[in-house]
A and B are shown apart, each in its own frame.
Chain A
Amino acid sequence: MPGYKPIARRSFLRGLGGVAMAVPALEIMQPKVGLAGGTTTPLRYLVCFAGCSIGMTDGMYAPSGQTTDLFVPETIGAGYDTKRAIAPLTEHGITDEVSIVSGMKIPWDTGNGIPAAGRRVQFHESTLAPLLSGSRGGSGNASLAVTSDQVVADAIAGDTPFRLLPVCVQAASYRGGNGSGGERGTLSYESVGGDIQGVTPFVSPRLLYESMFAGFTPPDADAAALAEAEFQLRRRLSVIDLVKEDANRLIGKLGGTDKQRMEKHFDELRDLELRIEELEPLPEGSCELPPMPGEDPPIGNATETTSGSNYDTTAAWSDEETRALVHTDLIAMALTCDLTRVVALQYTYGHCWLNMYPVTGHTNDLHELGHGGAQAGVSKLEAFSDGIAWNIHHWARLVAKLRDTTDFDGRRLLDNTAISLCFEGGHGYDPEGNDQNVHSSENMAVLIAGRAGGLNASGGRHIVATEDHPTRVLISAMQAVGAGSSLGELDGGIDELFA
């Protein structure tokens, strides 16, 4: 096959505009927007989620019938202590950047219907809708209102190539057949013609890389290489053009909901075309071409959980450790390069059945660890906290990266960011069993970092906001990036975060 060359998927012909050719060694991929025309450095918003509660019953740590956690610091204010579940904050050296808001609560149906920003009684998944949208959920799991990331994207995305980047680390459902329970893996809900629809996240690290970074042409490429890149770009646009034509013809022939779906498909194709066409060179920052992640780890089998020695330590696992590392690196660079300003990042599904053995050594999934599933040499709460800590570790790694990255304005990227991490539950009263356990939306906590808009002005602190709604922390993050001060049925954030 002489002369055969695959079409470069994305030929970033940046530099063709005649700018920044002098950059040595580093392959700088310049963002298209940001500082042009003297505008200010963009702000970034990330909402992150872990599909577990933060505490449980454990006789070693709490009196019989009561719950506790190894998460919430004893100390209030700055210099808080980091117990087992949040130890990664210390390991990554970011306690002075991260505030912890604890003691919060999502209300539930006590017989008079689901209250504002509340949930139905049955636990698992029922907290996701109110937590992410600030609006009461329904009888199902899906959110009935748009989520915070969508509201923020409308406010700050500008014309970045990716208005919003939804990403999920956990690669599959893992119980009842992969594909069971889609809402557990959905973090973002958008309004499509008034209908609220879940947004499919990027799951494949390779796809995320290829979508954002592949086919980059180095700015120091010679004339022949640039000509070749230009040709490949032209080919690629010819392909997308024909694909768009096909979608467009179908729109004209379809009716009803089919027409709507094809219109949505067409809109996404047009966005793809715009991303490919993107040519404008812009001032340099810390933007670099990240290394190719290689092939994705295979998707693991689904499994019904069996505990202890019966637990299949190879199933329910798609190397989420590697996936989390790659996703974190790519997201950090996407923010650095201003390819996106808004990220909805899900580490683990609600009601998470991800195998925790590869990362904690405990032979069970995260959900079962929350119910005191088997573990060796540690107490139930300690084992569960190790699972919680895995989520926090990857979040902390991301925060540290943002801290260590210089933004366009010379400040730290973290200074122009608001990034939160929320959890499926807290611990305490469980209206289902009328007792105290892990299935509770009491004692919830949210982590929040970043200094955008005066957020965390006094550094990382532990703030107790007794029975306040955890989504208020997300609203604070929205306020920090100038995206309003309300979400769904909730008004106002946690003022202390700006003190």
Chain B
Amino acid sequence: MAAVRALVAASTVVLGGCYDGLGDHDGDLPDGAADSQGPADGGEDGPGAEPPSDPEQVAPIGLRRLTAFEYDNTLRDLLLDETRASNLLLPEDLRTPFDNDYTLQVPSTALIEAADLLAADAASRLLADAQKRDTVVGCTPTGADDASCFASFVSSFGRRAFRRPLTAEELEGLTALQGEAIEAGDFYLGVESVIRTVLQSPSFLYRVELGQPVEGEPGLFRLTGYEVATRLSYLLWGTLPSDALLDAAEAGELDTSEGIGAQLSGMLADPRAVDRIARFHSLWMGYENLPHSYDIAQAMQEETRALMQRVIFDEQLAWQDLLRMNETYIGPLLAEHYGLPAPDGDGPAWVPYGDSGRMGLFSQGSFLSLGTANGETSPVQRGLLVQTRLFCQDIPPPPPDLDVNVDEPPGDPATQCKSERYAAHQVSGSSCNGCHAAIDPIGFGLEAYDAAGRFREHDTDRPECPISGDGEIAGVGAFNGPKELAELAIESGMLNRCVATQLYRFAIGRYALDDLDENFLDAVSESIGEEDFRFDDLLRRFVTSDTFRFRRQEEN
């Protein structure tokens, strides 16, 4: 395996020879100085906030609405409500592959009606369960007119839901709802109104970041400690901040990078962090849904999650060890599926890969199920996924006027072997070859593993079509199979910046990047280098950066 160290590091570099229309991020940057009418003073008067060390690393971030997944998590932690049914009512969260791109979250009648109905449902469920209700309300009212219990509920519930203390105006408005409770002689009628109000308020539905304007930097804002707490909790847990985290914000402990960093290890020790980081990886690589029977799909998800848990959390190994792990967590079902030795006992356990040719995440069914269609592997789709998702190489779709049918594989499946059919893409100098030279050979390197991750020696039902499994990352080197792909990818030095880039997209809720984003990613990439890095260390670099404590207003 002759590996050539990759020349490419920047995520937007386009593969040589592949036509594009990309790479130009100039000209559309928000001009902070141009429009200073931006309001957002967070209610603070007086001198502006201290500037970040490098304002050119602070990119725009807009209002982010809670995704359906985050909404359900938030209800769980706010109201002890495990229903998780918001996806029935909320608009489908569009995948970029991430589900939280705020540029795609457009308010609509359907959204407003859904927020209203979800709030009504949640309030009804809480009041129907006296134990949960009492926990959430936090005091036992002496009667419908118990003003002190009502006020304490409004204040504590509002702080958790809005992720900040309520303003005097908000307190006044919400506590006034007790009037109707008194009129009806039922304290909890007021509780219901408060919950319904809060859960459909924009301050709950959106992660609002106002901050304090930075002096001399129009459009730039320093986040409050509460806003930092919210960024931390939704990034690391996918839900609202704990009371302890809000208390830390209140005490000013999140006003410095050191203070933020001090929260990190505690937050990562929470089981919700495993869910969140596992979900990030599944959205990123695209195995959130697997095209297999329920049992197999569940077992594969469990297999991959166990790998995440072990490498990133339990043993805190290098992120690269996700790709290098020489054993995998499977039960008898998957062992038989993969043709690996069965674990002792009925349940899943770590089973060594031995000399099976497998290693790490790329050998798991979750990853090998990607880029498949009609139950068959697509070398093009697999190659595209590796290039775009793992190496962050932008590969454009075929040009609009090109005579290709992107919906059907090339050639005649009845008479040609798969490798022959795709040969048309590789005619040197053809309109296809410019891009496909960087795509198909990666897919063919994984071709000996079928659409469910099982090893095979020939095309499906075609013994006369042997599969060599030989593949290549253009400009990097040759490989055969997932183990060698992992080794080559790690050795190429192309992974680290891309991992940082994908995490950044997920963290800020925006897929498209501009120069300010790239400035930050340059700095992070430089700091983690091209060798092994730990994922919790990458997270630390994120959350302790100035970028995490500041916000640039998005201009029209």
Contacts and interface: CB of A to CB of B under 8 A. Distances in A.
Contacts of B112: 265, 268-269, 271-272
A180 interface: yes
Interface stretch (B124-132, B333-341, B486-494): B124-132
A242 B555 contact: no
Contact of A258 (B42, B63, B408): B63
Contacts of B29: none
Given A257-B554, A265-B107, A268-B107, A430 B39 contact: no
Interface in B390-408: 397-398, 400-408
A371 B408 CA distance: 9
Interface in A244-279: 245-247, 249-250, 252-262, 264-265, 268-269, 271-272
Contact of A179 (B93, B117, B193): B93
Contact of A255 (B109, B185, B553): B553
B87 interface: yes
B263 interface: no
B130 A179 contact: no
A298 B88 CA distance: 7
A30 B163 CA distance: 43
A197 B183 CA distance: 45
A368 interface: yes
A122 B398 contact: yes
Interface stretch (A54-62, A302-310, A404-412, A479-487): A302-310
Nearest to A315: B291
Interface in A196-220: 197-204, 206-207, 210-211
Nearest to B400: A120
A296 interface: yes
Interface string A398-432: 00000000000000000000000000000000111
Interface of A is mostly: loop
A264 B389 CA distance: 34
Given A231-B183, A242-B173, A269-B112, A306 B401 contact: no
B434 interface: no
B498 interface: no
A111 B112 CA distance: 44
A204 B88 contact: yes
B111 A268 contact: yes
Contact of B405 (A111, A192, A272, A432): A432
B400 A256 contact: no
A271 B120 contact: no
A235 B200 CA distance: 15
B33 interface: no
A252 B289 CA distance: 41
A451 interface: no
Interface stretch (A3-11, A74-82, A85-93, A94-102): A3-11
Interface in B359-390: 369, 372-375
Contact of B177 (A166, A238, A261): A238
The dominant DSSP class at the B interface is loop
A434 B107 contact: no
A427 to B, nearest CB: 14
A127 to B, nearest CB: 14
Interface stretch (A170-178, A280-288, A470-478): A170-178
Contacts of B104: 182
A420 to B, nearest CB: 22
B50 interface: no
B406 A261 contact: no
B87 A299 contact: yes
A200 B110 contact: yes
Nearest to B202: A247
B116 A254 contact: no
A310 B376 CA distance: 11
Contacts of B38: 255-256
A3 B185 contact: yes
A187 B289 CA distance: 26
Residue in A111, A139, A204 with the greatest tally of chain B CB atoms within 10 Å: A204
Contacts of A207: 89, 110, 113-114, 117
A123 interface: yes
B375 A307 contact: yes
B95 A257 contact: no
Interface in B1-42: 30, 35, 37-42
A204 B114 CA distance: 9
A261 B406 CA distance: 36
Contacts of B42: 253
A432 B400 CA distance: 9
Question: A176, A202, A256, A264: which has the most chain B beta carbons within 10 Å?
Answer: A256
Contacts of A182: 92, 94, 104
Given A121-B402, A178-B289, A253-B210, A307 B63 contact: no
B242 to A, nearest CB: 23
B405 A312 contact: no
B402 to A, nearest CB: 7
A66 interface: no
Given A234-B180, A430-B405, A254 B39 contact: yes
B288 interface: yes
B201 A242 contact: yes
A109 B286 contact: no
Contact of A250 (B200, B202, B400): B202
Interface in B160-196: 169-170, 173-174, 176-177, 180, 183-186, 188-189, 192-193, 196
Contacts of B283: 177
B155 interface: no
Contacts of A249: 169
B142 interface: no
B106 interface: yes
Nearest to A264: B107
A1 interface: yes
B141 interface: no
B554 A256 contact: yes
B94 A200 contact: no
A93 B41 CA distance: 65
Given A179-B99, A198-B106, A299-B88, A9 B373 contact: no
A110 B400 CA distance: 10
B91 interface: yes
Contacts of A265: 107, 112, 202
Nearest to A437: B405
Contacts of B43: 253
B89 A204 contact: yes
B203 interface: yes
B432 to A, nearest CB: 13
A180 B97 CA distance: 8
A121 B401 CA distance: 6
A177 B128 contact: no
Contacts of B197: 239, 242-243
A177 B288 contact: yes
Contacts of A9: 116-117, 120
B293 interface: yes
A301 interface: yes
B108 interface: yes
A162 interface: yes
A111 to B, nearest CB: 5
Among B41, B183, B291, find the residue whose CB has the most chain A CB atoms closer than 10 A. B291
Interface string A180-199: 11100100000010000111
A24 interface: no
B88 A6 contact: no
Return the 4 tightest CB-CB contacts between A and B, nearest first: A306-B375, A255-B38, A304-B291, A200-B108
16 contacts: A120-B400, A199-B106, A203-B110, A207-B114, A235-B193, A238-B176, A246-B170, A254-B208, A256-B35, A256-B555, A257-B62, A262-B202, A268-B112, A303-B291, A305-B373, A306-B374
Interface of B: 30, 35, 37-43, 60, 62-63, 87-89, 91-95, 97, 99, 104-114, 116-117, 120, 123-124, 127-128, 130, 169-170, 173-174, 176-177, 180, 183-186, 188-189, 192-193, 196-197, 200-203, 208, 210, 219, 283, 286, 288-289, 291, 293, 369, 372-375, 397-398, 400-408, 451, 553-556
